[in-house]
A and B are shown apart, each in its own frame.
Chain A
């Protein structure tokens, strides 16, 4: 009996490996298509069927001004909303981790609720508010919406990262005569910075990618995802694939850098501890 189990287990684990690799292939299939088709010379208006290989789209990525404008708008919206949401979210996470206070349960609930509400409900309810207020839809309403859904992600990410930190370090700094400002700059911020950076990146990525909520609150402004939505109905140039590949490469770089940075912070913490 004891000799049989290892063999069957070995086969089972091999099967599991193969299965998992197939799932990974499934995950990367569209990504491969996006990258490959950025080198396509589409026959018609749609980059849909493979025709021939070329660097045309890569050589001229900014060929379509509306696409460039949309990308610029998306980057602006993502930067601004990430900045605000990261500040708001981090402050909330700090309060929830550092203090016991009446209503903290309600605050946590308020943070989780937007994540359990479908985007279409978030977008359409915000639109009802703006319609009721007779607000002009545009840049401001897009940013407002993006801050709204990002705050929760930031707060929950930062909270998960800073739970269980040794806050007595702050008290030690105070005892050693540091003023509150110095304590925040020299102790608190360096401790929580990797968490904040991760949350900020998440918020930026979510904003850059958001379609449904933005569709409801953008008025006549066109963000990058909205441009793609229009393009898949009218004309879909390979430059879209170039942009998508560029975003992917940038994310990969940011991800790599943040992992390096975190490892360094961890090592330093271990050396100090």
Chain B
């Protein structure tokens, strides 16, 4: 602790290393090493070549991978469509209600994830309120369902990760220098022009961070698919969970897990390249 109090790098060469040591050690032992173990488990095949786990991951579960990516992408896009306007309102128009709105956005997520998702089941089931309303408005063919469809799963994913989209967008909008926006108006730019040329580009880092914070957990999630979908909506997380905890085919389970992480890492890097954003969080 003397290292902190003495107030600078001059006095203590070892200070910062002592401070980070416990956390770094914890992350090395329980984050980095497990990933290495996961890699090792994936190639420890009893009968057959080392890559047979990976081969089965692609041949038997390629569809699950595709569906996970598709659902997560849709949830991310819907998250932007729902979250951006709300973040914009909070940053530019909420005035003294800003903090209240921020609180309201976060508050629902202080209830348990699983209970929240189960509540969607209550809303979307065949005798639930959503179907009733849609039937009254004649917006749905009779007998059509919401629960156990892709719509329910994508809706659930969108819902559960929405604050992770709203908060970074809000932060990036909040940081924008208001004088830039005024300058755009002074130069006779209309509201649409000012938004497209000034506000939108400056808020892209927030959209980028939000997209990652939604896409990554959504791809690996299996609760929404399990509670709100049918087996036809199963995502790759269900397979990993099932293979690890029920079937106990560890090489296969580890292979799928490993492929998921590799795919996400590659995707994130490409996305970062595409948007030219260097900072992550």
Complex contact A114–B31 (CB within 8 A): yes
Task: Find chain B residues with CB under 8 A from A194 CB.
Answer: none
Residue from B27, B38, B105, B257 having most chain A Cβ neighbours under 10 A: B27
Task: Find chain B residues with CB under 8 A from A212 CB.
Answer: 220-223, 237
- Give min CB distance, A49 to chain B, whole Å: 6
Contacts known (A126-B30, A180-B6); A119 close to B220, Cβ less than 8 A: yes
Complex contact A94–B19 (CB within 8 A): yes
Task: Find chain B residues with CB under 8 A from A95 CB.
Answer: 15-17, 19-20
Complex contact B85–A16 (CB within 8 A): yes
| A248 to B113 alpha-carbon distance, docked (Å) | 12
Task: Find chain A residues with CB under 8 A from B213 CB.
Answer: 115
Task: Find chain A residues with CB under 8 A from B113 CB.
Answer: 209, 211, 225
Complex contact B19–A19 (CB within 8 A): no
Task: Find chain B residues with CB under 8 A from A91 CB.
Answer: 19-20, 22-23
Scan A225-253; emit 1 where CB is below 8 A from any B CB, else 0: 10011001000100011001101100110
Give B17's nearest chain A residue, CB to CB: A101
Task: Find chain A residues with CB under 8 A from B59 CB.
Answer: none
Complex contact A148–B5 (CB within 8 A): no
Tell me, yes or no, whether B198 is within 8 Å of chain A by CB: no
Complex contact A125–B35 (CB within 8 A): yes
Complex contact B114–A88 (CB within 8 A): no
Contacts known (A24-B104, A26-B82, A119-B220); A98 close to B4, Cβ less than 8 A: yes
Tell me, yes or no, whether A52 is within 8 Å of chain B by CB: no
Complex contact B86–A24 (CB within 8 A): yes
- The stretch from B137-145, B172-180, B239-247 touching chain A is B239-247
Complex contact B123–A33 (CB within 8 A): yes
Complex contact B24–A92 (CB within 8 A): yes
| A198 to B207 alpha-carbon distance, docked (Å) | 24
Candidates A23, A92, A116; contact of B83 at CB < 8 Å: A23
Complex contact B5–A170 (CB within 8 A): yes
Tell me, yes or no, whether A27 is within 8 Å of chain B by CB: yes
Tell me, yes or no, whether A257 is within 8 Å of chain B by CB: no
Tell me, yes or no, whether A55 is within 8 Å of chain B by CB: no
Task: Find chain B residues with CB under 8 A from A112 CB.
Answer: 280-281
- Give min CB distance, B2 to chain A, whole Å: 5
- Give min CB distance, A31 to chain B, whole Å: 5
Scan A82-118; emit 1 where CB is below 8 A from any B CB, else 0: 0000011101101110111100100100111111111
Tell me, yes or no, whether A128 is within 8 Å of chain B by CB: yes
Tell me, yes or no, whether A266 is within 8 Å of chain B by CB: no
Give A114's nearest chain B residue, CB to CB: B31
A residues 69-90 near B (Cβ < 8 Å) are 87-89
Contacts known (A12-B191, A180-B1); A128 close to B34, Cβ less than 8 A: yes
Complex contact B4–A188 (CB within 8 A): yes
Task: Find chain A residues with CB under 8 A from B5 CB.
Answer: 170, 174, 180-181, 183-184, 188
Contacts known (A99-B15, A101-B9); A110 close to B24, Cβ less than 8 A: yes
Scan B1-14; emit 1 where CB is below 8 A from any A CB, else 0: 11011111100000
A residues 13-40 near B (Cβ < 8 Å) are 13, 16-17, 19-20, 23-24, 26-31, 33-34, 37
| A145 to B2 alpha-carbon distance, docked (Å) | 31
Candidates A48, A88, A101; contact of B121 at CB < 8 Å: A48
Scan A133-163; emit 1 where CB is below 8 A from any B CB, else 0: 0000000000011011001100110000000
Task: Find chain B residues with CB under 8 A from A225 CB.
Answer: 112-114
A and B contact pairs by CB, cutoff 8 A, 21 listed? A20-B89, A23-B83, A23-B85, A89-B23, A92-B20, A101-B9, A110-B31, A115-B213, A118-B237, A122-B34, A124-B244, A125-B257, A126-B30, A131-B41, A144-B30, A170-B5, A184-B4, A211-B114, A225-B113, A251-B110, A255-B107
The 5 lowest CB-CB distance pairs between A and B, nearest first, are A118-B220, A180-B5, A251-B110, A30-B119, A95-B19
Spell out A's residues near B (CB within 8 Å): 5, 9, 12-13, 16-17, 19-20, 23-24, 26-31, 33-34, 37, 47-49, 87-89, 91-92, 94-96, 98-101, 104, 107, 110-122, 124-129, 131-132, 144-145, 147-148, 151-152, 155-156, 167, 170-171, 174, 180-181, 183-184, 188, 205, 208-209, 211-212, 215-216, 224-225, 228-229, 232, 236, 240-241, 244-245, 247-248, 251-252, 255, 259
